[in-house]
Amino acid sequence: MNKVLEQLKQEALYAQRSFSKELLYQTYGKAQMARQLEALTQAEFMEINHMTVYFMNTDREYIKHKNKEFFENARFAAI
C-alpha cells in the first residue's frame, strides 16, 4: 500500500478526532502537494479530500463542536 496515503489517512483521522480545522487543512495541503508530485493518484487524493474538506462541511459532530466553540468565544469577547 502507498505509504504516503497511509500517513495522510492517519493524520486526517487524528485531525477529525481533535476537531481541528487547522490540522484538517494542513493534511489537505499535504495531499495536494503529494498529488502534484504524483505520490498520490487522483482517487487517493479524493479519499483524503473526503476525510478533510468534505468532513468539515458535512460531519454533524464537527459542525456542532465548531458552532459551540464559536458561540463560547463570542460570548467571552462581549464581556
Report d(CA 48, CA 8) in Å as an integer.
7
Report d(CA 22, CA 36) in Å as an integer.
21
Collapsing DSSP to helix, strand or coil, 64 comes out as helix
Per-residue pLDDT tens over the stretch 24-65: 999 999 999 999 999 999 999 999 999 999 999 999 999 999
Report the domain count for the chain: 1
- pLDDT of 76 higher than 80: no
> How far apart, in Å, are the Cα atoms of 20 and each of 50, 53, 61, 73?
15, 12, 12, 16
Domain span at 31: 3-77
Which pLDDT band holds residue 1 (cuts at 50, 70, 90)? Answer: confident
Report d(CA 64, CA 61) in Å as an integer.
5
- pLDDT of 78 higher than 80: no
pLDDT confidence of residue 35: 98
Report d(CA 13, CA 65) in Å as an integer.
16
